[in-house]
Amino acid sequence: QRMIEEKRERVEAFDVIRGVMILLMVFYHLLFDLVHLAGLPSWILYNPLLNVCQPIGAGIFIIMSGAMSRYSRSNLKRGGKLLLVAIIVTMVTSIIGSAILFGILHFLAVASILYALMSRYLEKIPFKIQPFLYGVLTAVSAVIVNTSTIRSDILWFFGFPGKTLTSADYFPLLPWIFVFLFGTWFGKTSQEKKLPDWFYNIKNNFFAKCGRYSLYIYLAHQPVLYALFTIPSLFNKL
DSSP assignment of 57-89, as one string?
Answer: HHHHHHHHHHHHTTT-S-HHHHHHHHHHHHHHH
Determine the straight-line distance between the first and last CA of the chain, rounded to whole angstroms: 65
| Amino acid sitting at position 18 | R
> Is a pLDDT exceeding 50 seen at residue 9?
yes
pLDDT given at position 214: 94
User: pTM for this structure?
Assistant: 0.90
Q: CB burial class (10 A; 0-12, 13-18, 19+) of residue 141?
A: buried
Of 90, 8, 113, 17, nearest to 57 (Cα)? Answer: 17
> Is a pLDDT exceeding 80 seen at residue 3?
no
Query: What is the tens place of the pLDDT at every residue in 16-73?
Result: 999 999 999 999 989 988 888 888 899 999 999 999 999 999 999 999 999 999 999 8
Q: How far is CA 134 from the centre of its chain?
A: 17
**CA 43/CA 57 separation, integer angstroms:** 19
Coil, helix or strand for 164? coil
- Which residues contact residue 50 at a Cβ distance below 8 angstroms, ignoring those fewer than 6 apart? 28, 31
Query: What is the tens place of the pLDDT at every residue in 59-118?
Result: 999 999 999 999 998 999 999 999 999 999 999 888 877 788 899 999 999 999 999 999
pLDDT given at position 2: 40
- Which residues contact residue 186 at a Cβ distance below 8 angstroms, ignoring those fewer than 6 apart? 63, 66, 67, 131
Residues 150, 87: contact at Cβ < 8 Å? no
> Is a pLDDT exceeding 60 seen at residue 1?
no
**CA 187/CA 39 separation, integer angstroms:** 42
Q: CB burial class (10 A; 0-12, 13-18, 19+) of residue 92?
A: middle
Residues 218, 25: contact at Cβ < 8 Å? yes
